[in-house]
Amino acid sequence: MAENQKISFVLHGKIHGKKKIKKELQDALAREFELGFFETDRARQAQSLTIEALEKGCDFLIAIGGDGTLNEVVNGYLKSGGQKKHKVVLGVLPWGTGNDFVRTVGVERSVEQLGLLIRTSSVRNIDAGKMKIGAPEETQEEKYFVNIADAGFGAEVVSEVNGVHLRKIILGGTMTFFLAIFLKFFQYKHKLMRISWDGFTWEGPVLTLVVANGQFFGSGYGIAPDAQIDSGKFQVVLAGNVTMLDYFKNFGNLRKSKHINLPDLNYHFTDHVNVVPLGEKVLIEADGEIHGTAPLRFECLPGVLPFLVPGTS
């Protein structure tokens, strides 16, 4: 390994035990690597700090926080040029509410594991999702995700969860998401959408549409049990005219990452998905953050993220 390699950390500034984490990283890595910390002090700042870290130069860029922090780091990396511009390996030290992406890849909340992944260059080129938000004839906004995006019920739940920071601190991620799901159970109305890709079109009421690169969302619900992070395709879970009660009855299967057997719930694989609302607005969330409303197009970007993952060295 070359000497004086640099590790830059983009750190969510409000995570619990921040000083302890930084000290553990210094103790574990400072003798072998140059370390740099880029700490957020306001919402939605991790993307700009990622771009700053990349411009200053580093060999490894690690997100410290939850899925939202990782999402911003991925957006900063891809919007600033990605592999075409930067010879940087990405990674994550999970320290957030949901931490769903790491459930798929086996990354732990462990400084020791992170150090091992870096030292052994345990890197896999994984996929990312691109969202083109807005109608094609308009100026579309482009955003990226690494784990799961969804439209409908799941996005409504995320909107509820992201407004209750104190509840998340007190109850933790899993219980907070469960309570949000329970509250939305009594409020949610199916959204009318047109969902399509090459050779497939579906129109009608939708409970939820999930476009998955990873397998888990909502703090541990295995909604897409067959999704693979390096397959070049999404697993799409389309729950059409599924009742809230039937969905609620299957939470046990979701916790076990099992398929749900319901007439209007189907699993597909595709590298792109078009979503058009046919009625009231449809919220879109990705990696646990609200990103706007439909219409939009999802596209899978194969192998664009060099990422630290166990078992690949």
CB 153 within 8 A of CB 207: yes
Write the CB contacts of 126 (distance below 8 Å, at least 6 apart in sequence).
105, 146, 213, 229, 230, 303, 305, 307, 309
Mean pLDDT over each residue of the chain, to the nearest integer: 90
Both 81 and 183 in one domain: the answer is no
pLDDT of residue 192: 97
**pLDDT for 154:** 82
pTM above 0.85, yes or no: yes
From CA 124, how far away is CA 59, in angstroms rounded? 15
Whether residues 80 and 139 fall in one domain: no
Answer whether residue 313 is part of any domain: no
Confidence of residue 169 (pLDDT cuts 50, 70, 90): very low
Single-letter amino acid, residue 163 = G
Q: Is residue 208 part of a domain?
A: yes
pLDDT digits (tens, 9 = 90+) for 185-198: 667 889 999 999 99
259 in Cβ contact with 97 (< 8 Å) = no
Contact 285, 159 (CB under 8 A): yes
- Average pLDDT of the residues in 63-91: 96
CATH code at position 58 = 3.40.50.10330
pLDDT recorded at residue 174? 56
CATH of the domain at 295: 2.60.200.40
Same domain, 32 and 163: no
Q: Quick one: 218 and 272 in the same domain?
A: yes
pLDDT band of residue 171 (cuts 50, 70, 90) is: very low
Range of the domain at 265: 129-302
| pLDDT of the residue at 1 | 45
Residues of the chain above pLDDT 70, percent: 90
- Mean pLDDT in residue range 53-69: 96
Based on the fold, state whether residues 80 and 148 are members of the same structural domain: no
Q: Shortest CA distance to 291 belongs to which of 97, 176, 131?
A: 131
Q: In terms of domains, do 172 and 111 share one? A: no
Residues 112, 75 share a domain = yes
Number of domains in the chain: 2
- pLDDT of 2-43, one tens digit each? 468 999 999 999 888 899 999 999 999 999 999 999 999 998
Q: Is 237 within the bounds of a domain?
A: yes
pLDDT cut 90: percent of the chain above it: 74
In a domain, 70, yes or no: yes
